[in-house]
Structures are given as structure tokens and as C-alpha cells.
């Protein structure tokens, strides 16, 4: 061991302290000091002048994204020092390590506003970047005087360009990501495919690359008689250069750092302890930026190490002992066959050991990363273990061909590159075909919902009990504990969640008895609201399918997300529409897509009831008295025919309504008057304000008959419609309702425990 296992325990204690500060209720280590300073000192749109040093750049959306450190940012209110930020620019000509002076306007990173939604601010903060500057005007650039740090960037760009000329676009994107760590050419479909089947790690530069490239180089040098010192220096220099070439991702820095510790142990004649080396690298990275503890790449990288150490290595030792006994039996059986028998036996043994080793280490890595994948993505790729067994064996060949082909293509020419890279085409085709096959299998992804930091701690403790202790009772306790952790009922109570979808509506309702409903789901202000807001929320809640999805009408701000979820094969059992809904192009498209995905279309008439023992929805409008308006062009007013629902929650199932709510789509005061005259909706607890708080909705007479205690207005802060209107707000307040706004509070949740908002 390099420093003894006691040092590893100290490392672990430090990591736990940082994690408690980052994930706990109180930041006792002040990890968010820089982020807090930016929030206090800068506001969106501030005009600033800044000086700093470029430490990284990458191609993103046909622009170059520059990362600046040690920056001074000057505003009218003063100067903010020693901060990091990013900006985009059309040119990539500014070298790394250059000192740059620029001006522009501040743009803060968006925070998540719904459960499960990706937090852009947290992501950049965890990488040590705190804001962005837009509308950049570069004033001055002082390039470095000595070493050309940009040579690695240019080499990376040349290799990626070479792949693009030789291979198909999707194949070039995959190979660029695997070999060069460059994801600029990786299309979203490919990224989603590999992430969906649990193979996202093969697209990142990690320990696999170091073991294939750098460890292989070191072993070859030693075999040819090169000394420990010279072999280590050369292999270490190659590893360090490869890390810079691939962009210095967290996973690659971790892997290369551990490899350098291994080389140091070889030179000093000490034994190498992987866990101590991993702990040392964790501390080095966290000293650089403590918020790495919230970075997905950091967590998954070290989770894989834990899986290898606590699962794969012990299992592999047990397997090798078993194999030793089996080999003795096989040797006796095949001894009589002479030399051919020995060759056959050795080949069979090597094949068995290779397959078993791949299986064991894949299993260990999967077990190590499992709780982290759940925390980050709220789902588990069901067949990832099998896929790793099928795909990992081709990775060394693909990586080596990619490296050799890239080098030879640049040094000799594209002709030789085409020959060397030709097998990559078939290997990548194989990887994609296998991944698509398994993704198409039933239950390829298991949505399990969000689990917190303590879940991860308990999980790893139980895994250690299961593997490290020989006592059978303790092992059984660990096994049963891990199993029960996945069976604990999750978010099972009555709940209504108004998602912040921007300018639109999206409402999730949990009946409390296992039935999941959704009302509308679209936006005109949020791009891909289904993919980036609604679906992550449902995964966070552990909802693998929606039983009934009500759509009030076919406007984009109510249905766009539903189309996205259907296209992504999220299971929607039934879509519920008004029987009076006009049949326009959008409806025809929806019906066709629903039929393709196996979703039933149900229609509700006025008076129809849909629900279960504890929760039911009654259609109260449109009816025979529906007020329909037709424009001079012959277009029907879709808003006027919105499906209007009365929700009634019966907590005890005794027939007594304990909580009532009304959801009226985009109806106006004219339709509200008709509903009030019917007398079917009275004295409710919750009102979804019609038409996002339009001044033409929320009629006084209607509100008096409903007498809501709580009203929710769903809209974006800046919209061209002027929602919510002052007139509607005043009428709702006069009716005695407390108003909550998604534009201010983000997601708004209502349950038996009360009302909660994502942004306090």
C-alpha cells in the first residue's frame, strides 16, 4: 500500500464531511460561497467589463465556448474577483492560457423549477463555473509566450475532422466521443440511446481508456526491458498528454491520477492500493473544487471504483479459486490427448476466464453505480449488465483502431485512415444494433423514482455487509436490506402537482390508491417541455405510466409535451378528450400517434365520471349549452370547448368529499357563466385559474359560486399575452382565494400535508 489503509479512512471521512455540507440542510463548510457572491453581486443583464485567463474551450452549437478563470468582473456596483465564468464566441482563435479582456452582459444559469428537472446552475457550479457573459466584445487578448497549449485542442479538432470525413456522421460522433472525449459531433439520439441502455460510460474517457492505452504501453515497455523509472516516466507523460488531449474530464483526471499513483508505487517498489489511490484523487479534486461532490461524472466515476473494489475483486478472487479446482479436473481429463489437448484446454480456459472476468467486473461496476444512477436519472437500465458483457469486449479494439487510425491519418493521409478505421464502422454498427435491440425489449428501463443522499449511504453499507463479511447472517441481512430498499412504497399519497411549464399547463394528480392522472401538458415558452420538464418529473416521482391523461383542448400550450412523451414511448394508457372536441389537424395527428403507441382514446360527455374509490373526475362542460364561437375564416374557438373537470377526493373512501378542485382549461367568462348556472360546481377547495389568468376569464359570478380557498395560475413571467391580468387577480382575491403562481414559485404541490412550492 502507498500510505496504508488508515490514510484511506481519513480520505473517506473528509469526503463524507464535504458531502454532508453539500447535500445537507446547512452548508457548514461554506461550499456555496462563490455562488452566493455571484447571486448577491450580479443580476441578469448587468453590463460588465472583465479580465481573466482562458483555461478551456470546446465546440458547442457551432460556436466556441470559452471558460475563464481568475477573473475580475467590473460593474457599476464594484468589482468581483477570483471568479470563473464562460462565454460563447464565433471564433476559436483565442489560445488556451491567453489573458483576455472583454465586455458584455451577465446571464445567470437557470435553476430547476420542478422536481426532477435538470439544474443547469448546479451543473456549471459543480464544474466551478458561475455565470455566462453574452453579447461579448473582445477588447484585448494576450497569448502565452512559451508553450503552445492550444496544440492539444488543434490536434483534437483534427482527429474529429478526420473521423467525420471517413465515417458516417453518427459513427464519427461516437468514435470522437470515445477516443477524443469530444462530444460536439455526437447527436442527441445516439446520446439518448446509450444512456437509455446504461452504456453512457463508454462515451466518456475513463479508466477503461487508461487501462487499454496507458497500462498497455507501460507493460510493453517493461516487457522490452525498459527500467521501471523510464517506463513510468514515458507512460505517465503519455497518460498526462492524453488527458489534456481529451479535454480533462473529471473521469479522465481521476483515472489518470490513479494511474500515476500506480506508476509511483512501481518506481518506489511499493504495493499499489486502488482504494487509497482513489481516495487521494477524490481529495485532490475536491480541494480544487468541493462542489465536484455534486457532479454526476465525479459520482459515477468513484461509484464504479467502489463497485470494483467491494464487489468485483472479491467475487473475482472467489471465482479464480473455484476455477483452480476445476482446471485440475480438466487437466486430468485432457492429459491423454497430448499437445493438441493442452492447446484446446488452454484456449477454453482463457475464454472462460475472459468471459467470467468481464461479467464479474461489469456486475461490480453496475452495482457500484446503481444508487448514483437512481439519484441522477431516477431510473435503472434493466439489461445494462448483459449489454456490458456484449459490448465491453469490443471496446479495446475500437479504441485502439480509433487512436491508430487518427494518428496515421494525420501523419500519412486519409487513405491509410480509411483502411484502419473501416472495422470501426462494423464495430459501431454492432454496438448500435445491440443497444437498439435491448432498448426495444419490454421493461428496458425501470423507473424507480428519486432517492436521497442517505439512500446511497445505506445502500453502500449494506453492500459492504453483503460482500465483505463471512458471517452468513450478516450477509443475509445485507441482501434482504438491499432488496427491501427497492420495495419501499414511494410517493404513494394523494397529491396534485402544478408543474412550471412556462406559458402553458401541466398538472399531475396522484389518487393515493395507485391511479395516476395528468391534466394537459404543453408550453409555448419552454422548448421540449415534455422531454425536459414533464418526463423528468414523472421519473422523479417513480411514475412509470399515466393511467388517464386529460387534454382540455388541442392548443400547443396544452398538448406539446404529450406528443413528446408518446414519441419517446412513455406509457400512457388512456388519453381522455371532450366528446365535443373539434377534429382539427392536431387532433388527427394525436389520434394517429396514440394508436401507433397503443394508447386508447376516451371521450367524456357532460356528466360522465371517471375515477376510483378515492378520487373521481366529473365532466361538467362542454354540454348542450356550450358557447361556441366561429371566426370569419370558419375556425372554431378551441378555448370555448375546453374539457372542464370537477375533481373530488375521498380520503377514507366513505363517499364524503374531503377536497374538491376545478380545472377549466382555457374557458372564458362566457363559459364560466354557463357552468355557474348549472350549479354543479360549488364550494371547492382548489381552482386552476382559467386561461392562465386572462382578463377574459375568472368571472366574478363564477368565482362566487365556486368560493375557492386556493387558486393556482400557470404562466410564464414574460409572455406576450399579459398573463396574469390585474383584473383577473383582483377578482380571484375578492372571492377569498389565496393565489399561487408557477412563474414565481415554480412547481406547486398540494397534498394532505398542505401546500408546498419548489421555490419558497
Give pLDDT < 70 ranges for the chain: 1-5, 325-345, 468, 472, 475-476, 478-479, 483-484, 486-491, 625-635
CA distance 5 to 8: 5
Q: How many CA atoms lie within 13 A of 52 on its CB side?
A: 26
HEC assignment per residue over 565-580: HHHCCCEEEEEEEECC
Show the cell assigned to 277.
489511490
CA distance linking residue 534 with residue 543, whole number of Å: 11
Whole-Å CA distances, 416 to 160, 164, 407, 475, 611:
16, 15, 10, 56, 67
Taking the C-alpha atoms of residue 535 and residue 566, their distance in angstroms, rounded to an integer, is: 11
CA distance 760 to 752: 19
Q: Which residue has the cell 406559458?
A: 503
**What's the confidence (pLDDT) of residue 552?**
97
| Nearest of 532, 516, 581 to residue 555 by alpha carbon | 581
* CA–CA distance, 165 with 160 (Å, rounded to integer): 9
> pTM of the full predicted structure?
0.90
- R_g (Cα) of the chain, nearest Å: 30
Q: Dig out the grid coordinates for 391 from the structure.
A: 459490448
Beta bridge partners of residue 517, listed in sequence order: 509, 548
What the block records as the C-alpha cell of 571 is 406509457
Helix, strand, coil shares, percent, the chain, to 5: 50, 20, 30
Spatial neighbors of 321 by CB under 8 A, at least 6 apart, are none
**All cell numbers assigned to 66:** 470559452
Print burial letters for 523-554: b (CB count within 10 Å at least 16), e (below 16): bbbbeebbbbbbbbbbbbbbbbebbbbbbbbb
In degrees, to the nearest 5, what angle opens at C-alpha 383 toward C-alphas 169 and 531?
55
Which runs of consecutive H residues, i.e. helices, occur in 42-148? 120-126
Query: Residue 145: left if φ>0, alpha if ψ -120 to 50, beta else—which one?
Result: alpha
Tens of pLDDT, residue by residue over 69-119, are: 999 999 998 999 999 999 999 999 999 999 999 999 999 999 999 999 999
Contact indicator for 263, 238 with CB cutoff of 8 Å: no
Bridge partners of 510, per DSSP, are 495, 516
Nearest to 115 by CA among 586, 760, 750, 747: 747
| Alpha carbon 616 to its chain's center | 34
Omega within 30 of 0 (cis) for the link into 227:
no
pLDDT of residue 628: 63
- H/E segment holding residue 451: none
Angstrom distance (rounded) from CA 640 to CA 622: 8
Inter-residue contact 598 to 442 (CB < 8 Å): no
CA dihedral 40, 44, 45, 51 (to 10 degrees): 60
Residue that the C-alpha cell 472525449 belongs to: 181
Q: Which residues pair with 236 in a beta bridge?
A: none
Q: Directed axis angle between helix 414-439 and helix 151-166, to 10°?
A: 70
Amino acid at each position: 500500500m502507498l500510505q496504508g489503509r488508515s490514510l484511506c479512512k481519513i480520505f473517506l471521512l473528509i469526503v463524507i464531511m464535504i458531502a454532508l455540507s453539500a447535500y445537507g440542510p446547512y452548508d457548514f463548510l461554506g461550499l456555496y460561497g462563490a455562488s452566493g457572491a455571484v447571486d448577491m453581486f450580479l443580476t441578469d443583464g448587468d453590463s460588465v467589463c472583465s479580465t481573466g485567463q482562458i483555461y478551456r474551450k470546446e465546440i458547442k452549437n457551432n460556436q466556441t465556448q470559452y471558460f475563464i478563470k481568475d477573473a475580475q468582473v467590473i460593474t457599476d456596483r464594484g468589482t468581483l474577483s477570483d471568479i470563473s465564468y464562460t462565454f460563447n464566441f464565433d471564433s476559436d482563435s483565442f489560445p488556451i492560457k491567453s489573458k483576455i479582456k472583454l465586455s458584455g452582459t451577465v446571464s445567470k444559469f437557470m435553476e430547476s423549477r420542478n422536481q426532477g428537472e435538470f439544474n443547469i446552475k448546479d451543473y456549471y457550479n459543480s464544474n466551478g463555473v458561475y455565470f455566462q457573459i453574452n453579447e461579448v466584445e473582445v477588447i484585448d487578448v494576450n497569448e502565452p509566450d512559451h508553450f503552445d497549449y492550444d496544440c492539444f485542442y488543434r490536434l483534437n479538432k483534427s482527429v474529429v475532422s478526420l473521423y467525420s470525413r471517413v465515417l458516417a456522421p453518427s459513427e464519427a460522433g461516437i468514435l470522437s466521443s470515445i477516443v477524443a472525449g469530444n462530444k460536439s459531433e455526437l447527436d442527441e439520439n445516439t446520446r439518448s440511446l446509450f444512456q437509455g441502455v446504461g452504456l453512457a460510460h463508454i462515451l466518456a474517457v475513463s479508466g477503461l481508456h487508461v487501462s487499454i492505452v496507458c497500462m498497455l504501453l507501460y507493460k510493453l515497455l517493461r516487457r522490452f526491458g525498459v527500467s521501471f523509472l523510464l517506463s513510468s516516466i514515458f507512460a505517465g507523460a503519455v497518460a498526462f498528454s492524453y488527458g489534456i488531449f481529451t479535454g480533462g474530464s473529471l473521469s479522465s483526471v481521476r483515472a489518470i491520477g490513479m494511474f500515476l499513483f500506480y506508476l509511483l508505487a512501481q518506481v518506489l517498489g511499493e504495493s499499489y492500493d486502488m482504494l487509497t489511490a482513489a481516495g487521494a484523487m477524490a481529495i485532490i479534486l475536491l480541494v480544487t473544487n468541493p462542489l465536484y461532490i455534486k457532479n454526476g461524472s465525479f459520482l459515477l466515476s468513484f461509484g464504479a471504483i467502489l463497485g470494483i473494489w467491494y464487489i468485483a475483486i472479491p467475487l473475482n478472487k472467489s471465482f479464480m479459486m473455484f476455477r483452480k479446482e476445476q482446471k485440475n479436473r480438466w487437466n486430468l481429463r485432457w492429459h491423454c490427448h497430448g499437445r493438441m489437448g493442452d492447446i484446446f484446454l488452454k484456449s477454453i480456459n482463457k475464454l472462460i476466464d475472459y468471459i467470467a472476468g468481464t461479467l464479474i467486473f461489469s456486475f461490480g461496476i453496475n452495482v457500484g453505480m446503481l444508487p448514483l444512477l437512481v439519484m441522477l436519472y431516477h431510473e435503472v437500465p434493466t439489461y445494462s449488465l448483459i449489454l456490458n458483457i456484449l459490448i465491453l469486449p469490443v471496446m479495446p479494439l475500437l479504441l485502439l483502431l480509433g487512436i491508430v487510425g487518427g494518428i496515421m491519418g494525420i501523419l500519412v493521409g486519409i487513405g491509410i485512415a480509411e483502411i484502419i478505421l473501416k472495422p470501426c464502422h462494423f464495430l459501431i454498427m454492432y454496438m448500435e444494433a445491440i443497444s437498439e435491440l435491448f432498448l426495444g425489449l419490454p421493461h428496458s428501463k425501470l423507473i424507480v423514482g428519486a432517492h436521497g443522499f442517505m439512500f446511497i449511504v445505506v445502500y453502500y453499507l449494506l453492500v459492504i455487509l453483503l460482500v465483505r463479511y463471512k458471517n452468513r447472517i450478516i450477509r443475509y441481512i445485507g441482501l434482504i436490506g438491499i432488496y427491501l430498499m427497492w420495495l419501499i412504497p414511494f410517493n404513494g399519497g394523494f397529491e396534485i402537482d402544478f408543474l412550471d411549464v412556462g406559458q402553458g399547463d401541466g398538472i399531475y394528480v396522484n389518487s393515493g390508491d395507485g391511479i395516476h392522472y395528468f391534466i394537459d401538458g404543453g408550453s409555448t415558452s419552454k422548448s421540449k417541455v415534455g422531454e425536459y420538464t414533464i418526463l423528468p418529473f414523472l421519473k422523479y416521482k417513480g411514475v412509470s405510466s399515466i393511467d388517464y391523461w386529460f387534454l382540455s383542448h388541442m392548443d400547443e400550450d396544452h398538448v406539446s409535451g404529450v406528443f413528446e412523451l408518446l414519441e419517446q414511448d412513455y406509457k400512457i394508457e388512456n388519453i381522455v378528450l371532450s366528446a365535443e372536441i373539434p377534429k382539427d389537424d392536431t387532433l388527427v395527428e394525436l389520434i394517429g400517434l396514440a394508436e401507433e403507441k397503443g394508447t386508447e382514446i376516451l371521450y367524456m360527455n357532460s356528466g360522465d365520471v371517471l375515477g376510483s374509490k378515492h378520487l373521481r373526475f366529473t365532466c361538467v362542460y362542454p354540454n348542450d349549452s356550450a358557447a361556441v364561437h366561429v371566426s370569419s375564416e370558419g375556425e372554431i374557438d378551441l378555448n370555448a370547448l375546453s374539457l372542464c373537470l370537477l375533481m373530488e377526493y375521498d380520503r377514507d373512501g366513505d363517499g364524503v368529499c374531503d377536497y374538491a378542485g376545478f380545472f377549466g382549461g382555457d374557458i372564458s367568462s362566457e363559459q364560466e357563466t354557463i357552468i355557474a348556472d348549472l350549479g354543479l360546481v360549488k364550494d371547492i377547495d382548489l381552482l386552476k385559474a382559467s386561461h392562465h389568468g386572462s382578463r377574459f376569464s375568472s368571472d366574478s359570478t363564477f368565482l362566487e359560486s365556486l368560493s375557492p380557498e386556493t387558486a393556482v395560475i400557470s404562466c410564464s413571467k414574460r409572455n406576450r399575452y399579459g398573463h396574469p391580468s390585474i383584473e383577473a387577480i383582483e377578482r380571484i382575491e375578492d372571492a377569498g382565494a389565496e393565489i399561487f403562481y408557477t412563474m414565481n414559485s415554480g412547481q406547486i404541490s398540494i397534498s394532505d400535508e398542505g401546500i408546498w412550492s419548489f421555490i419558497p
